[in-house]
Structure 1
Amino acid sequence: MDSIDRKILRELQRDCSDSIAEIADRAGVSQTPCWRRIKKLEEAGYIKQRVAVLDQDLLNLGMTAYVMIKTSHHDDSWLARFSEGVSLIPEVIEIHRMAGDIDYLLKIVATDMSDYDRIYKRLITVAELFDVSASFSMERIKSSTELPLDRT
């Protein structure tokens, strides 16, 4: 990957609905080489998918909860059951296996506290959990899907 590929990726991260001509112009290449580079970046897996970023608040999903889970089970069958079950809850938009005191961290979106409670009740039926606690975001100060590309 060279600097032109990084420029193309940066432009796609900002708005992948821009035309090839616009992306090529901002990346400093002509359209055909830009299109070829994008195809190669997709084939190589650098571009996983192209999506629309939606407004969480306008969709009445203004509550964001970070749910910390501890478990006393660490075997493969428990993890498979947990991962599959939690993945089926659409309000869980991120799942992370953690190092440290917390085993799993989930990012959940909900309309309000009663909606979160409904999601919580579904979550605790997925697999045996030792402890579940949550923190609620009061204000989203920064939110981005753009990865830093200026690394060597």
Structure 2
Amino acid sequence: MGEELKVIVFTLAHEQYGVEVERVRTIERMQPLTRVPKTPAFVKGVINLRGVVVPVIDLRGRFQLPESDYTDNSRIIIVAVKEMEVGLIVDSANDVLDVNTDSIEDPPEIVGGIRAKYLRGVAKLSGGNLLVLLNLEEVLNKSEIVQLEQLEA
């Protein structure tokens, strides 16, 4: 019997994704972003979160999904990636679920247009629904993390 994994469920382009609760620091409402020049287009800027400068990326842009306007449901999920905090803009953050690790399968090559390297796996939920789990280390590769760390400095 596998272990229970707690995940935050969020929506991106009408698909459900999850990230481990232990990686999430906080979930914030959308707020004004300070744009930073010479960063990739999906890096939307930085925010001042309780005195800490946090880089923010738009997951739609990162995954090359169609952009959409931010709504009252849009959220910034602050996650820990390799000893730094990064904000991820998502369409909405919905729920916390317990996922049995036995129900997680390796991701197919492409899910919803997103390449497998960004995915940790796909969890089969009750009712036949699927939940795509993100691999945060790949969502931001090493060179991008170095770039973001320079923003924090």
TM over 0.5: no
* Greater fraction of residues in strand: 2
**TM-score if structure 1 supplies the norm length?**
0.24
* Greater fraction of residues in helix: 1
Q: Which has the larger radius of gyration?
A: 1
**TM-score if structure 2 supplies the norm length?**
0.23
